């Protein structure tokens, strides 16, 4: 059997984790309190998680982020079915 081909490794996109303010570099995302400042926490819909140790923090949902749902539209009145003649 032929060997499986390995997928090419995706390079880290470090420029997405930091922001330059003046002469200093600032972290965009929060770091893990257990692992230290070298490990960032991943942002999910309702939580922040550490990929190394599994530490998790719940995040309160803000009204600005969640789009408001519209009221469902009313269905049209059903028309009476015509009776078939035999």
Domain contains 45: yes
The answer to whether the beta carbons of residues 27 and 17 sit under 8 Å apart is yes
- Supply the Cα-derived Rg of the chain in whole angstroms: 26
Q: The whole model's pTM is what?
A: 0.48
Decide if 42 is inside a domain: yes
33-86 pLDDT, tens digit per residue, is 999 888 888 888 999 999 889 999 998 866 444 444 555 555 555 666 666 665
In a domain, 10, yes or no: no
Q: Which residues contact 59 (CB under 8 A, 6 or more apart)?
A: 46, 47, 48
Domain assignment present for 41: yes
How many domains are contained in the chain?
Answer: 1
> What six digits make up the tokens of 35?
């692992």
Q: Are 36 and 29 in contact (CB under 8 A)?
A: no
pLDDT at 67 (0 to 100):
47
Whether residue 44 is contained in a domain is answered as yes
Structure confidence at residue 38 (pLDDT): 83
User: Does residue 57 form part of some domain?
Assistant: yes
- 43 located within any domain: yes
Eight-class DSSP state of 84: P
Evaluate whether residue 56 is within a structural domain: yes
Which structural domain, as residue segments, surrounds residue 56? 29-61
């Amino acid at each position: 059997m032929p060997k499986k081909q390995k997928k090419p490794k995706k390079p880290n996109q470090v420029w997405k984790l930091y922001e330059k303010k003046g002469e200093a570099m600032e972290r965009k995302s929060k770091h893990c309190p257990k692992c230290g400042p070298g490990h960032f926490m991943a942002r999910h819909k309702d939580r922040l998680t550490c990929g190394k140790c599994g530490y998790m923090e719940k995040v309160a949902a803000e009204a600005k982020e969640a789009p408001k749902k519209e009221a469902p539209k009313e269905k049209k009145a059903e028309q009476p079915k015509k009776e078939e003649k035999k």
